[in-house]
Amino acid sequence: MDLLTAYESLDAILWWENEIVPSGNGWIKHIVRENFEFAQSIYPIDLDSDINILGAASGESAILWWENDGTPEDNGWVERSLYGPAFPFSRDISAAD
């Protein structure tokens, strides 16, 4: 399992890749998005046959999602806006089918 974090003090969305190693300290940090002002909440979800990320930040005016495109050149994520700028001060996000 990997981890996703909304890091408010860094204004960032981070993906921590679990690379199993004998020492047990095999986490690789990937920056999904920097300058995501006051990052508050993230939610992993399958939007298109793979795991994607929904995100909310209280300093942003949009709900964003990052599409997992599987390419290492751009860290594997393409940023998309669900609808903005209609969501000022967003704090929480969830999704359901």
Mean pLDDT of the chain: 81
Q: Is residue 23's pLDDT more than 80?
A: no
Q: Is residue 76's pLDDT more than 70?
A: yes
Confidence (pTM)? 0.74
* 47 occurs within a structural domain: yes
Cis upstream peptide for 88 (omega within 30°): no
More confident residue, 24 or 89: 89
Distances (CA, A) of 2 to 18, 27, 56, 59, 90: 5, 8, 20, 26, 25
Q: Is residue 74's pLDDT more than 70?
A: no
Whole domain around residue 53: which residue ranges? 3-83
Q: How far apart are CA 67 and CA 54, in angstroms?
A: 9
Q: What is the pLDDT of residue 24?
A: 63
Q: What is the pLDDT of residues 83-92, one digit of tens each?
A: 666 777 878 8
* 16 occurs within a structural domain: yes
Q: Count of domains in the chain?
A: 1
